[in-house]
Chains A and B, each alone.
Chain A
């Protein structure tokens, strides 16, 4: 791969580069920045909820703006770009092509993200990351709402562009000797998730435009005061964003498919079952969107259809878990940091999936809907599974990107803090939800059980924070002062590596990696 730091270059050369490793680096740096911004917002929210009454945040409006920005940041500015980073680095190498199919488009797709981030962060809308009308039409303050809408519009176009790029790179630019069935599972994960984006994202793009014209008062699609239907927006929104969950989780599973066989020193148990599970997940991801809307007054029949559609996603996810466990079986597993994050991620993936099955059992929605149970449930996915896979993969790529090793001891400390913190925070949130605490509330009444559990959740969040600060310190220090990595085998696994890590970046000059 590339030695970014062994041969320092002026920063503009990286910024204006269209080479896939450079764009990948930009994606990675930006997404980690966004992770820390979004994390800081989460910490502010948790400090506020530590006890009833105003703690850190003095008014409800600021709190509402913060949780909106937190959700938007983490999903669109951290998770999607970090997946794109990994894809940019590895997909061309895995399909044996010199670059992405459309390098300039690739750079454009990345450079659309920072302006969109500026819109989201400077605007600070207050309607939640889902912007449900009629609130977002008649009640949300301008210009924050408009800025959010435009920001999301730009991000949607960016993810469509990068998805087109991945699909074309994998299907059209792969080496003629490489049949599609032999394409590694990480590249397969990008193929399937990109196809989901292409199918799902236009719906949300349309909904955003309708929302904007509704706010301008020239239409009334979602405004009941002029005969519109707010439920229609929820259908359009979730038709995009339930599949979007799979867009986030499928690359993370792909990353685990890269890490787990390598560190178990065995090939993947069944490549074909991994491919099959990706394809099934991509298809059934479109069969379950309305399970987010059971409480909007859906009929018994509608609920039943979407419950079955949701349950249908479970066998494919279970196939992935089986594949991971069967790969580790009879292996000789080296528990370096990336492997720890991958295995921890599988454990939390199961817990999140089991919670999802409970959510979709129709009558249980009356208990869990819009309560802290849901918050705990999806954070087990987005943090416990997706961010774990991604962070593990950042550790895994670190020697290839920087030419130096991160500090393994601090990496292990980071994993333990992140895992323990995630368990404390998100499992407690499940129980908090069972005690009836709603989501998105700035303050809560003095109920003893709520107070003690909120404090536990906040302590868990602080543990995660400490882990993340260690992560940041480890990255920065090791980039400059870490031990030079043995690029033939940085993790001491023996054997030969699967992809040619010595892919050349033309800007590195002669003789460089």
Chain B
């Protein structure tokens, strides 16, 4: 077959350049959101079949609901006591697996007051579909 491959090489060059752009952008944003600020309040999030428990720094516990203050930074320490769950606040793009025997962290700062959904994103059995909680962000 007599043909030249220059078009394929240009095409591959464009594809590779786009991939480098995608990778660099993703790396940069991940770097920006990765580090929790030092003054972030720690909240221990525990998943179990099939509800969420939240423990604040002052020791108060909440089950099935979480009260936070607007424009404060919070760092979640997510864990589980039975099977894998996944702590998720879709509205604020907060997501982290709750895995027994491990503590995973994720942080965010709510910049909107209101009532938001918390749900489980990792299949965890019978009532996985209804493993929900409410997040209340209060304006102070």
Residues of A within 8 A of B (CB): 60-61, 64, 126-128, 132, 134-135, 138-139, 224-225, 229-231, 267, 269-271, 273, 295-297, 300, 303-304, 307-308, 311, 314-315, 318-319, 322, 326, 357, 360-367, 369-371, 435-436, 438-445
Contact = CB atoms under 8 A, between A and B. Distances in A.
22 contacts: A61-B126, A64-B125, A127-B123, A132-B122, A135-B123, A139-B49, A224-B100, A231-B99, A270-B1, A295-B86, A296-B99, A314-B15, A315-B19, A322-B8, A361-B26, A362-B26, A369-B121, A370-B86, A436-B91, A440-B129, A443-B130, A445-B132
B42 interface: no
Given A231-B102, A303-B30, A369-B95, 7 more contacts: A224-B99, A295-B96, A295-B121, A300-B30, A360-B26, A439-B123, A442-B128
A139 B129 contact: no
Contacts of A300: 30-31, 34
A311 B19 contact: yes
B129 A443 contact: yes
B94 interface: yes
A268 to B, nearest CB: 8
Q: Which 10 residue pairs of A and B lie closest in terms of their CB atoms, listed nearest first?
A: A436-B90, A297-B104, A224-B101, A361-B26, A441-B129, A135-B83, A224-B100, A440-B123, A362-B30, A370-B121
B98 to A, nearest CB: 9
B15 A315 contact: yes
A134 B12 contact: no
B117 interface: yes
A360 B30 CA distance: 12
A221 B122 CA distance: 21
B140 interface: no
Interface of B: 1, 3, 5, 7-8, 11-12, 15-16, 19, 22-23, 25-27, 29-31, 33-34, 49, 82-84, 86, 88, 90-91, 93-97, 99-102, 104-105, 117, 119-130, 132
A366 B93 contact: yes
A61 B129 CA distance: 11
Contacts, number: 149
A66 to B, nearest CB: 13
Nearest to A293: B97
A126 B5 CA distance: 51
A229 to B, nearest CB: 7
Given A224-B100, A296-B99, A315 B16 contact: yes
Contacts of A295: 86, 95-97, 121-122
B132 to A, nearest CB: 7
B84 A132 contact: yes
Contacts of A357: 19, 22
A357 B22 CA distance: 8
A295 to B, nearest CB: 5
A139 B30 contact: no
A357 B130 CA distance: 31
Given A319-B8, A366-B95, A297 B102 contact: yes
Contacts of A365: 95
A442 B125 CA distance: 10
Nearest to A367: B93
A441 B119 CA distance: 11
Contacts of B5: 270, 273
Contacts of B128: 60, 64, 440-442
Given A295-B96, A322-B8, A371-B121, A134 B82 contact: yes
A224 B93 CA distance: 28
A87 B18 CA distance: 35
Nearest to B11: A322
A183 B11 CA distance: 26
Nearest to A266: B1
B120 A438 contact: yes
B31 to A, nearest CB: 7
Contacts of A127: 123
Contacts of B132: 445
B114 to A, nearest CB: 15
B29 A363 contact: yes
